[in-house]
Amino acid sequence: MKATILSVLLLLIVSTLSAQRITGPISPHFQQWLQANGYASNDFNRRDLGSSGSFGGRADENQKIVNQPVVFVHGNSDLALQKDAISTYQTGWDQTAAFFLKEGYTAAELYATTWGPAQSSQALQQTYKCEYVLRIRRFIEAVLAYTNASKIDVIGHSMGVAIARRAVKGGSECNLGAALTNRVDTFLGLAGVNYGLCTCQYAGIITTCNANDGFFPGQCGSQSICAFTLQECVQTQYATFMQNLNEDPTKEGDNIFAFWSNSDEILGQGSKAFGKVTARIPNMNGSKTYNSLKHMDVKDKTGADQLKAVRDHLIDMTDLPGGGFQGNGSSLPTWSLPDISGLISSGLAALQGGGRPENRANLPMLNLPDIPSFFSSSFQSISDSLKNLFNGRLIL
Ligand SMILES: *[C@@H]1O[C@H](CO)[C@@H](O)[C@H](O)[C@H]1NC(C)=O
Ligand SMILES: *[C@@H]1O[C@H](CO)[C@@H](O)[C@H](O)[C@H]1NC(C)=O
Ligand SMILES: *[C@@H]1O[C@H](CO)[C@@H](O)[C@H](O)[C@H]1NC(C)=O
């Protein structure tokens, strides 16, 4: 009898532990601290999003902070925590946070706020604008001050990668102030868009694709089609925000890593622009490539790898189906997008009429190179990506 009660109790404890999940919004203790320390107007809480708008904070003054705090920065139209059970592109940081909790972190060590409207219907209007960068900068500053941590880790996903990179690098671009490099132990970018998005090459008319603070991929040497490159070339004329970010030698932290997937339906085949990985971060220490993860999976299914990267500064190449390989994203095979000429001429002709990217006069007309047919298998990826765009569901 005793043994039965004991095992039932044990079972209860085990199942409670395994069901551990983070709850939002940020704790009342953190909320009070924010009010008292000049952050009231930032509304990091985001109560308009219910309990999904934010998370993190100590339960009370006595709760100790043991692990290095982590700040999470979500992507386009996503939010701090999952919106509902059915929104594919609004899954928040639930799964990553649950993993960190399971590994001994507490809610006092895990922080996120929502930086955008969190509406899929507004995804195509989102850009790397200063308002968002400043918000994330302020949030990072608040977490540093609130936790008294000498260093934190920063993990970004998708569009959140470049936003967080700029926030940490600081600088005059958005009047951000000094770099926070020496306050960041590890910066991890998941499926980021740092060198533009091929889907945006012929859709500069769409706000999110613009050439200032959008995802416009520019050109590589004299080549304007965002596919494989016939010879080594340097990518130029891509959106100013990303270009400034990549040319700024200030580092994002002591250790810099990036993860991406070959099957990312948003970033496109191989997550590449002009044959190189758009998710790479200049001067990063290492990276991991997944073969079969979708865009949101690179955030939602890689908790173990994220933890290893930020806590141990290690990348495990073996523990996911498909494995991964290490590299800096510049040395990967140069083939990337398949022949998209058919799609472009039929589908995008209408859009393109007058749809030149702002600030980038004379987008060269299509001059398609001969693309080997064996790459037609990757056609599906770009066509999905374009479909998302046309349906107004391009989410980054
Ligand atoms: C941070 O320092 C302040 C002032 O010394 C103190 O009141 C607060 O409890 C500390 N916070 C943590 C998380 O240790
Ligand atoms: C990453 O690179 C920096 C600078 O080269 C170095 O100080 C740091 O130790 C490296 N981190 C890892 C995990 O190798
Ligand atoms: C990337 O790696 C390749 C080969 O491993 C190397 O030649 C190249 O200089 C590296 N690029 C950067 C930006 O580190």
State how far the alpha carbon of 289 is from the alpha carbons of 93, 115, 191, 295, in Å: 20, 27, 10, 12
Q: Is a pLDDT exceeding 80 seen at residue 20? A: yes
Ligand nearest to the backbone CA of 143? 1
Is the confidence at residue 160, as pLDDT, over 60? yes
Q: At what angle do helices 130-147 and 159-169 cross, to 10 degrees?
A: 60
Reported as a pLDDT band with limits 50, 70 and 90, residue 63 is very high
- pLDDT band at residue 11, thresholds of 50, 70 and 90? low
- pLDDT confidence band for 13 (50 / 70 / 90): low
Closest approach atom of ligand 2 to CA 256: 1
Alpha carbon of 245 to ligand 1 centroid (Å): 34
Placement of tokens 């509304």 in the chain: 43
Looking at residue 73, the DSSP 8-state letter turns out to be: E
List pocket residues of ligand 1, CB cut-off 6 Å: 61, 65, 147-148
Which residue among 58, 148, 150, 152 has the greatest number of ligand 1 atoms within 8 angstroms of its CB, and so is best to mutate? 148
* Structure-block tokens of residue 371: 């693309």
Q: List, as one string, the DSSP characters of 112-138.
A: EE--S---GGGGGG----HHHHHHHHH
Parallel, antiparallel or unpaired: strands 286-290 and 152-157? unpaired
Counting ligands in written order, which one lies closest to the CA of residue 313? 2
Confidence (pLDDT) at 226: 87
Pocket residue to mutate for ligand 3, from 194, 247, 331, most atoms within 8 A of Cβ: 331
Tokens of 369: 């190179």
Ligand 1 center from residue 43 Cα (angstroms): 22
Burial of 203 (0-12, 13-18, 19+ CB in 10 A): buried
Q: Give the whole-number percent of the chain exceeding pLDDT 70.
A: 75
CA 342/CA 187 separation, integer angstroms = 40
Any ligand 3 atom below 6 A from CB of 286: no
Contact between 296 and 91 under an 8 Å Cβ cutoff? The reply is yes
Indicate if the pLDDT at residue 51 is higher than 60: yes
* Terminal CA-CA length for the chain: 55
Ligand 3 pocket, 326 CB below 6 A? no
Token pair of 46 as six digits: 């985001």
Q: Which of 64, 61, 30 is nearest to 146 (CA)?
A: 30
Largest CA distance in the chain: 82
Q: What is the pLDDT of residue 384?
A: 46
pLDDT for res 102: 96
Distance from the alpha carbon of residue 149 to the mean position of ligand 1, in angstroms: 10
pLDDT band at 66 (very low <50, low <70, confident <90, very high): very high
Burial class (CB in 10 A: 0-12, 13-18, 19+), 63: middle
- The structure tokens listed for 263 are 């099957």
CATH code of 22-331, in short, is 3.40.50.1820
Q: What stretch(es) of the chain map to CATH 3.40.50.1820?
A: 22-331
User: Which bound ligand lies closest to the C-alpha atom of 187?
Assistant: 2
Q: 285-296 pLDDT, tens per residue?
A: 888 888 889 999
Name the least confident of 199-208, 234-243, 284-293, 384-393.
Answer: 384-393
pLDDT of 337 strictly over 90: no
